Amino acid sequence: CLYIHLEIQGARQRIFAERMFVYHYRIFDRYRAPVVSLAVLADRSATWQPRHFGYAYAGCRLRLDFPVAKLLDWQNRQAELQAHDNPFALVTLAHLLTQATRRNMPARLQAKWQLVQLLYRKGWARQQVLDMLHVLDWMLRLPQHLNEQLWQNTLQLPEEKKMRYVTSFEKIVAAKAMEQGMAKGLEQGLEQGLEQGLEKGLKQGLEKGRQQSKAEDLLHLLHKRFGLLPAGLHERILAAPIDQLSVWFDRALDAPSTLDSVFQPVRH
């Protein structure tokens, strides 16, 4: 049996090498089996490269050497990361771009868009693309208005890529919108609770906020996919219950080029 001890360190730490030794020994002490200690350094210091811990006194010597992957070492090798098919290469590239754009959100938007395009060119399986989109979205965080711009960029991809992948990105954006709808509903519920009773107000406000958020998301998606909407459809969507909105939203994600397939009645 072999135990793997992996540390991912995001900032320079004076006692890091000592901590690697302590954890290494504690694992060995607990399981009495070989331990391999590995470190991934994700900090911004080019000179910090801890690789061993040890001491020697009065003829007694102790030393632990551990392999280290310093992500910053790839700073000038980004072309290699782009060309590599290993998903961790794309994650490393995203990490470097996250650090480089931490104070420049417009630059981060461009970096994130380039990574999305690169991901689409990889030709990976749909689920792998979806998983990586979630990772990129989590690492390269953007303000809401720039996320909206990124979504619009994605909708301008060539049609064959759009049909295969855009739905995945839309689902990520939709999930964010649902979280915002929950927060909006909670706020409305608290306000109503002051007048109508906290429990009832929270429930009503939360439900209303979710319904409004879902309706707005559906209208936005339909507008992006189908352009100008027919008269009366806006009011119909705003008045619909949340269960019906969810059905329409799911259809709109995968529907062909017409609105009819979104709003057709359910056949029993």
pLDDT per residue, tens digit, the chain (268 aa), is 999 999 999 999 999 999 999 999 999 999 999 999 999 999 999 999 999 999 999 999 999 999 999 999 999 999 999 999 999 999 999 999 999 999 999 999 999 999 988 988 888 887 888 888 888 888 998 887 888 788 778 777 665 555 455 544 555 555 555 555 555 555 555 555 545 554 555 566 667 767 787 888 888 778 777 777 887 888 888 888 888 888 888 888 776 667 778 887 755 5
Q: What is the pLDDT of residue 168?
A: 47
Q: How far apart are CA 53 and CA 203, in angstroms?
A: 57
Write the CB contacts of 95 (distance below 8 Å, at least 6 apart in sequence): 42, 71, 139
Q: What is the pLDDT of residue 184?
A: 57
CA distances for 130 relative to 6, 68, 82, 164, 232, angstroms = 26, 30, 18, 11, 35
Cα radius of gyration (the chain): 25
Angle at 255 between CA 254 and CA 258, to 5 degrees: 160
Q: What is the pLDDT of residue 188?
A: 58
Contact 170, 221 (CB under 8 A): yes
Write the CB contacts of 252 (distance below 8 Å, at least 6 apart in sequence): 218, 221, 222, 225, 262
Q: How far apart are CA 95 and CA 89, in angstroms?
A: 10
Q: What is the pLDDT of residue 2?
A: 96
CA distances for 247 relative to 178, 213, 214, 241, 261, angstroms = 15, 15, 11, 10, 11
Longest CA pairwise span in the chain (Å): 89
Q: How far apart are CA 105 and CA 123, in angstroms?
A: 28
Q: What is the pLDDT of residue 205?
A: 60
Total-model pTM: 0.62
